[in-house]
Structure 1
Amino acid sequence: MLPAEHRLRHRDDFTVALKQGARAGTRRLVLHWAATDRAHPTRVGFVVSKAVGGSVVRHRTQRRLRHLTADRLPGLPADGGLLVVRALPAAGSATSADLAADVDRGLRRLGLTGRG
């Protein structure tokens, strides 16, 4: 589970990451990263729209992404940042292994410490 202090909750934070941050896309995901100051630990948020699927599919996809990013938190910069993981329609039918590979690929492309 993603610890509370690492959850991205405010709309303004999502906007900063999406509009001002660096972006790395894969077939199923787009990752947005904006470096911030040391006042907050790295925080992660998710955007899973109706294009991904119905309610059950969207929630399953978000749970998978939340679990995958929680596992990768220790490898992310500790000096603060905003990471938004946006699911594309293909993410709804992807396996957890596919999503994990896309998260790792996106983190590498952003220059963050991803696995693999």
Structure 2
Amino acid sequence: MLARANRITRGADYKTVVRGGGRCAGAHTVMYVVTTPHMRSPRFGFIVSKRVGSAVVRNTVRRRLKAVCAEALPSVRAGADVVIRALPSSAAAPYRELRAEVVRCLGRRAAA
């Protein structure tokens, strides 16, 4: 799981990343990345709307995305802020596909 230092928790930070970040879209997610000059560990945020499914489904999708990001954490450059928006198709997507999509976008936008 992601440590508190690796999570975006403030709404203003989400807004900054989504509005000003580079964008990478896939079949199941849309990823926004902003690189800051701060030399701190990368941070991740997740947006999973009610369109994805019930609360159980949304939390399952969020947990899967967090696991993928925790696994990819060493390959993300320091100071990067990443927000991942889950699309409705992510509810039915296998973990393997979600992982491949997130890793591809992280490699394009936030690789160390």
TM-score, structure 2 as length reference: 0.94
Distance 1:37 1:11 in 2: 20
Distance 2:20 2:111 in 1: 20
State the match for 1:75 in structure 2: 75
Greater shift after overlay, 9-18 or 34-43? 34-43
Residues 5-37 of structure 1 show CA distances to partners (whole Å, capped at 9, x for unaligned) of 001100011011100010000000001001112
Structure 1, gaps ≥5 residues long: none
TM-score, structure 1 as length reference: 0.91
Distance 1:108 1:75 in 2: 8
Letter of the structure 1 residue corresponding to residue 41 of structure 2: P
Structure 2, gaps ≥5 residues long: none
Distance 2:40 2:68 in 1: 21
State the match for 2:63 in structure 1: 63
Count residues in correspondence: 112
Distance 2:108 2:80 in 1: 16
Cα drift, residue 107 of structure 1: 1.5
Q: 1:26·1:105 contact (CA, 8 Å) conserved in 2?
A: no
Distance 1:92 1:106 in 2: 19
Letter of the structure 1 residue corresponding to residue 63 of structure 2: R
Greater than 6 Å deviation, 4+ residue runs? none
Describe the SS at the equivalent of 1:2: coil
Describe the SS at the equivalent of 1:77: coil
Cα drift, residue 40 of structure 1: 3.5
1:29 aligns with 2:63: no
1:100 aligns with 2:99: yes
Question: Percentage identity across aligned positions?
Answer: 35
